Amino acid sequence: MSDDVSKRRLGRGLAALIGEMDQPVPVGEPRSSVNPDRTVPIEFVTRNPKNPRRYFDESELQDLAGSIRQHGIVQPVVVRTRSADRFEIIAGERRWRAAQLAGLVEIPVIVRDVDDRTALELAIVENVQRADLNPLEEALGYEQLIAEHGYTQNDLGEIIGKSRSHVANSLRLLKLPDPVRDMLADGSLSAGHARALVSTPDPVSLARTITSKGMSVRDAEKLAQTHIKAQNAPPQPDLRPEKDSDTVALERSLSDRLGLSVSISHKGNGGQIRISYKTLDQLEEVCRLLEGR
């Protein structure tokens, strides 16, 4: 299959390669009328290690497992052949996981003959169409297609039915440090929150502020802009007057005598002497000297 044909077919959605699965079912006809190619032992089916989806909510899996115990798998798992009797999932890993929890021995499958690239494309398209990917998984899937198969952002936009700017904004999330990416993956931060942090000097601390205060995306954008402006602001000049040589010499003399840092500042006819200490013993020594003991 040529690149152009693959992209055109994928651009029309999963129906292009998975067939009847995305077609509407007539009213009153059960979804299970989508006939599987065969039923295979569940242990003969393995997940696709390059599936962009990494996070599966345990409670949702348990709910699906309960439904499967009652009604079985009503939508077959789409797989490709890896050997004579072994299969790798293209679409439907969540159903496969729930079927294991439900104790199924066999599952219905639809077998499709596709290469590695097309399997990855289909996995991304299926999950994006179902909104099953969190923003980080989606971005990692796009990155993988670009890195391994030479797709442009325009290509990806056509495949998934999104704009090029959507793809670009998704990829920007990968510039964030790991702690922020973890918050994005577990749902603590939305994609809108995370995008506002990409260009900030300290996205981790800002992300924690946003989550702790329950800030909206708009508020997060304002917070980010404030920090970006502060980062780019020119340094303020030191307006303090330079100390004359006599003051510097006196500071040095007192520092040598006390063994501590001494700073003298003049203001009008008066001023201040500041003695810095690090331990209580040093403070006690200063007090002893001042009391003349």
Write out the catalytic residue numbers.
Answer: 93
Q: Of the candidates 220, 215, 231, 168, which has an alpha carbon nearest to the alpha carbon of residue 194? A: 220
DSSP 166-235: HHHHHHHGGGS-HHHHHHHHTTSS-HHHHHHHTTSS-HHHHHHHHHHHT--HHHHHHHHHHHHHHHHSPP
CA distances from 225 to 15, 78, 165, 229 (A): 43, 46, 21, 6
Written as one letter, the residue type at 247 is: T
- The b-or-e profile of 34-46 (16+ CB within 10 A means b, else e) is bebeeebebeebe
What distance in Å separates the CA atoms of residue 186 and residue 136, rounded to the nearest whole number?
Answer: 10
User: Order of strands, edge to edge, in the sheet holding 77-81?
Assistant: 38-41, 106-111, 77-81, 87-91, 45-46
What distance in Å separates the CA atoms of residue 76 and residue 87, rounded to the nearest whole number?
Answer: 13
Q: Are 103 and 70 in contact (CB under 8 A)?
A: no
What distance in Å separates the CA atoms of residue 46 and residue 80, rounded to the nearest whole number?
Answer: 10
Cα distance from N-terminal residue to C-terminal residue, the chain: 95
Strands 270-276 and 77-81, bridge-based pairing? unpaired
Q: Are 228 and 220 in contact (CB under 8 A)?
A: no
Helix (H) or strand (E) holding 40: strand 38-41
